[in-house]
Copies of this chain bind each other. A is one copy, B any other.
Amino acid sequence: MSGEEASKYTQHRQDAIRSAAAVFAEKGYHGSSTRDIAEHLGIKQGSLYYYFKSKEEALAEVCLYALRDYAQQMDVIAASGQPFEAKLIAAITSHISKYREQNGAMKVYHTERLYLPEAKREKLYQLGSGYRQNLENIIEEGVRSGAVRSDLDCHFATQTVIGICNAWGELIVRDPDMELFDVIQKCTDLLSNGFIPK
């Protein structure tokens, strides 16, 4: 009884987090009302507080939801023995795909996290910077292996990869018809080879 019922609450709460993600993604944190979220979830406004003790907690949960396995996936990629190009494409795929999953939680994390209080933001920041560090290591390793040209500023390159992924993430969220695979492949190609012919 206990295990199952506990997981029922947890399950419903998870639904609530996903509803919050969807609404925040569409209208922004301050642009969404708790009534909007409740309606999306199919309950009444007041009942939302059975699952969150404040609107802000809902935002924090959405952000956590976005980051949780995102950072984890990157750990796996970094630890794999694949060559640079494979790791790069895996990272980009992982990142951009996230924008299509989890009801837009990734977009919410990217756009709205600044409305969280310092303490909670710090916690998220650690998860996020683990990801960033992993990516930077991959690129540095690429330099050492000769797969990446040695005059590249690896820190700069890391930020740029993340920036591109976020930019395309926003675009594919806005346009549901866009081909995910196509975007990923072209991003990788452009980052690898640049504009100029060899």
Closest chain-B Cβ to A48's Cβ sits at a distance in Å of 18
**Contact partner of A198 among B28, B142, B146, B198, CB < 8 A?**
B198
Among A28, A147, A149, A190, chain B packs the most CB atoms within 10 A around the CB of A190
**Does A79 make an interface contact (CB < 8 A)?**
no
Q: Is A176 an interface residue (CB 8 A)?
A: no
**Choice from B30, B115, B150, B157 contacting A190 with Cβ under 8 Å:** B157
Please measure, in the bound complex, the distance between the C-alpha atom of A80 and the C-alpha atom of B187, giving whole angstroms: 29
The SS class assigned to the A binding surface is: helix
- How many copies of this chain? 4
How far in angstroms is the closest Cβ of chain B from A145? Answer: 11
Q: Which of B150, B160, B187 contacts A187 (CB 8 A)?
A: B160
CB pair B31–A146 under 8 Å, yes or no, is no
Q: Are A171 and B190 in contact (CB under 8 A)?
A: no
Contact of A195 among B29, B30, B149, B197 (CB under 8 A): B149
Contact of A30 among B30, B153, B162, B193 (CB under 8 A): B30
A130 within 8 A of B: no
The distance in angstroms between the C-alpha atoms of A115 and B192, with both chains bound, is 36
Partner of A164, one of B88, B142, B149, B167: B167
A190 touches B186 (CB 8 A): no
A119 within 8 A of B: no
Collect the chain B residues with CB atoms within 8 Å of residue A88's CB. Answer: 195
* Interface, chain A (partner B; CB < 8 A): 28-31, 88, 111, 114-115, 139, 142, 146-150, 152-153, 156-157, 159-160, 162-164, 166-168, 171, 183, 186-187, 190-198
